A and B are shown apart, each in its own frame.
Chain A
Amino acid sequence: MSDGPPSIWEWIGRNWDTGRADSIRNLLTDHLTMSLVPIVLSLVLALPLGLACARWRWLYQPTSGLMNVIYALPSLPVFMLLISVTGLSQTTVIIPLTFYGMAVLIPAVVDGLRSVPDHVRQSAVAMGFTPLRRLLRVELPIAVPVVLAGLRVVAVSSISLVSVGALIGQGGLGGLFTRAYQNPFMPPVIVGIVLIVALALVADALIVLAQRLLTPWVRARKGMAS
C-alpha cells in the first residue's frame, strides 16, 4: 500500500506548503496575482478608452480593430517578444492578459453607454445635468450591467489563461500541468484543473453578487418581464 503511488489527498498534503516556489499554496497565490491584476487593470484602462470611443465615434473602429488584432495574436510569440523586455517574470504574463481583457471590455463599455436610451439622455440634458455629472450619475450607472457582463467573461478567461504562462515558467497553477509531461502522474493535473475552475467560479459569483448590489433595477426589470 505504502509502496504504490500516493492518493490525491496524500499528494495534496505533502505538496500544499513545502516552502518551495512550486508548493500548491505558492502556485495558487501566483495564479491569483497574475489573473486579478489583468482583470482590474483592463477594467481601469478600458473605462477611459471606452468613454473616449463612445464620445468620439471615429475612434471606435480603429481601437476595436487594433484590440481584435492583439486578441488574435497567439500567446506564445507574444511571450517570446515580451521576454526580451520584461524577462521571465509575472509581468510577461500580466501584459498580454491585460490586453485580452481590454479587447473584451472596451466594446462592453461602448455598448453599455450606447444602451442608454436617447430619451433618458435627452431628459438628463434638459433637467440641467452638466456633461460630467450626466456621465457619472446617469450614463455610467445605466451602462453597468453591460460592462459587468463583459467583466465576467474577462475574469473567467483570465483565470483560465494564466496557466499558459507555464510555458515560460510563470503559469501559476498551470505549473501543475507541465509536470505531467515528465511524469504521467494524475493528482497534480486534477488539483490544477479543480482549483482553476473553482477560482473562476468564485470570481464569477463575486461579480454577479456585485451586479445584484449595484443594479437592483435590472432585477426589477427582469421580474417585470417574467
Chain B
Amino acid sequence: MRRSWHGGRGPATSERSRVITFDAVTKRYPDGTVAVDSLSLEAPTGEITVLVGPSGCGKTTSLRMINRMIDASEGRILLDGKPVQGIDPPTLRRGIGYVIQQAGLFPHRKIVDNVATVPYLLGWDRKKARSRAMELLERVGLDPALAGRYPFQLSGGQQQRVGVARALAADPPVLLMDEPFSAVDPIVRTSLQEELLRLQSELRKTIVFVTHDIDEAIKLGDRVAVLRVGGRLAQVADPRTLLTEPADDFVREFLGHDRGIRRLQFVPTDGLRLRTDLTVEEGAERGAAEPWLLVVDGDGRPLGWASGARPGELERYGTFVHGRDSMRAALDAALLSPSGCAVAVDEGGRVVGVATRESLDQALAEAADV
C-alpha cells in the first residue's frame, strides 16, 4: 500500500528514513543565555519523537538546530551519522519537511502552488509538481477543489492540513513539526492529530514534534522527551513508561493529574474477559435471570440495555472496539451506561460481547500490577 503510493518515485520512505542524533548539543546566545544545555537524544527512524516542556525549555531551539535555522554552539547533530553542520542549509532544508504553528502558507500563492513549493525549489517541472501537490491535498483529507484558492479563503484547520501536505510534497524522510496544532480549536486539533497518526502509519517518517501540551505528546509520541527550563533533558521514554515511572518531581508535576487513568490508554483490551450470554435479539423472549440484557438488531448491532425493572424501555450504552481501543475507552464505555457494563464491538460495529464490572475490575487490577 505504502509502496504503491510512491509509484516508482525512488526508494520507499522506509528505506530512506533517517535517524537524528543530538550529541551533547548546547546553544548559548551571545548574552550568555543557555537555551539548550548539553542535549543528547536520538530520534529513531520512522518514529515520532516529541519534545515537550514548558516555555523556555529550548524545545523549539532544539528543533531548529536540526535544519540549521539555528546553529548549535557546541556538540553535533547527526542526520544518519552525518553532521548537519557540514551541509549547506538550503540543500539540507529541502530534504526536511517543516510544519510551523500558523502554517506559514504563502498568502500570494494558490494552495496547489503552496504545496508544490519544495518540488519547485528542487527544479521539478510545473506539471509534475502540481500533480504531486494535488495527490497530497487528497492524502491529507482536503477537497481538491480548494487547490485554486488562496490561503486566506481557508479555515485554520484547512490551512494546517495544507501545511502538512506542503511539508510532505518532496517526500522527505524527516519531518519537523513546531507546535503545528496549537493554534486551532480543540475539535480541529483532535482531528489533525488523528490524521497525523493515520498518515504516519502509512508513511513511517522520522518525525520530531514540538509541543507544550503533555497530552498531545502522550497521544502522538512513540518517544517523549521532557525538557526543563534551561534546556536540560529531564526524561526520555515511551509514553507508558513516562506515566508509570516519571524520573523526578519535575516530570511528575509536568505530567499533571490522573496519570493512573491516562495510563490505561496503553493497556490493551484483547485480554478483557467478555460475556456473550448477555445479549438478546430484538423481539426475542427475554430471560429473567439477569438484571440487564443488551438488545441487538438482526445484524448484531447494539440497540440498548433492557432492564428487568423497566420492561419495554431501552437504556443508554457505551461501546469500545475490542482489541483496538484501550482500557481507558472500555472503562469510559462502562461509565456511560446505567448497566455499568461496556459493550465490545468489532470494527464493523457488531457486538462481540459484554465487559462486566467484574471483568473490568480484574483487568484494572492486572494493569495496576504492571
Question: Could you list which residues of chain A lie within 8 angstroms of chain B, going by C-beta atoms?
Answer: 117, 119-120, 122-130, 133, 138, 141-142, 144, 215-217, 220-221, 224
Contact = CB atoms under 8 A, between A and B. Distances in A.
Contact of A138 (B67, B90, B92, B106): B106
A142 B67 CA distance: 25
Given A119-B100, A142-B108, A215-B108, A126 B93 contact: yes
A120 B103 CA distance: 8
A129 B118 CA distance: 9
Nearest to B183: A119
* 9 pairs of A and B residues whose beta carbons are closest in the complex: A123-B104, A128-B94, A128-B93, A126-B98, A119-B104, A128-B90, A221-B152, A220-B150, A119-B102
B94 A224 contact: no
B69 interface: yes
Contacts of A220: 149-150, 152-153
A124 to B, nearest CB: 8
B105 interface: yes
B94 A127 contact: yes
Given A123-B100, A126-B67, A128-B91, A221 B150 contact: yes
Contacts of A127: 93-94, 98, 117-118, 121, 166
A117 B151 CA distance: 13
B291 interface: no
Nearest to A216: B150
30 contacts: A117-B102, A117-B104, A119-B103, A119-B104, A120-B105, A122-B69, A123-B98, A123-B100, A123-B103, A123-B105, A123-B163, A126-B67, A126-B69, A126-B93, A126-B98, A126-B100, A126-B176, A127-B94, A127-B118, A127-B166, A128-B118, A129-B90, A138-B106, A142-B106, A142-B108, A217-B152, A220-B152, A220-B153, A221-B152, A224-B153
Interface in B24-59: none
B141 interface: no
A127 B122 CA distance: 10
B156 to A, nearest CB: 13
A128 B92 contact: yes
A24 B312 CA distance: 99
A119 B93 CA distance: 16
A215 B118 CA distance: 22
B101 interface: yes
Given A122-B69, A123-B105, A128-B90, 14 more contacts: A117-B107, A119-B101, A119-B103, A122-B100, A123-B163, A124-B104, A126-B67, A128-B89, A128-B92, A129-B121, A142-B107, A144-B108, A220-B153, A224-B153
A148 to B, nearest CB: 13
B316 to A, nearest CB: 43
A123 B166 CA distance: 11
A125 B69 contact: yes
* Overall SS of chain A's interface: helix
Nearest to A144: B108
Interface of B: 67, 69, 89-94, 96, 98, 100-109, 117-118, 121, 149-150, 152-153, 163, 166, 176
B174 to A, nearest CB: 12
B264 to A, nearest CB: 37
B94 A120 contact: no
B13 to A, nearest CB: 19
Contacts of B89: 128
Contacts of B107: 117, 120, 142, 217, 221
Nearest to B95: A128
Contacts of B69: 122, 125-126
A52 to B, nearest CB: 23
Contacts of A221: 107, 150, 152
A120 B104 contact: yes
A211 to B, nearest CB: 13
A131 B108 CA distance: 18
Contacts of A217: 107-109, 150, 152
A120 B106 contact: yes
Contacts of A122: 69, 100, 104
A142 B152 CA distance: 13
Nearest to B89: A128
B111 to A, nearest CB: 11
A141 to B, nearest CB: 5
Query: Which among A122, A124, A133 has the highest number of chain B CB atoms within 10 Å?
Result: A122
B292 to A, nearest CB: 54
A21 to B, nearest CB: 47
Query: Which among A126, A129, A130, A221 has the highest number of chain B CB atoms within 10 Å?
Result: A126
A220 B106 CA distance: 14
Contacts of B91: 128
A169 to B, nearest CB: 46
Contacts of B100: 119, 122-123, 126
Contacts of A128: 89-94, 118, 121
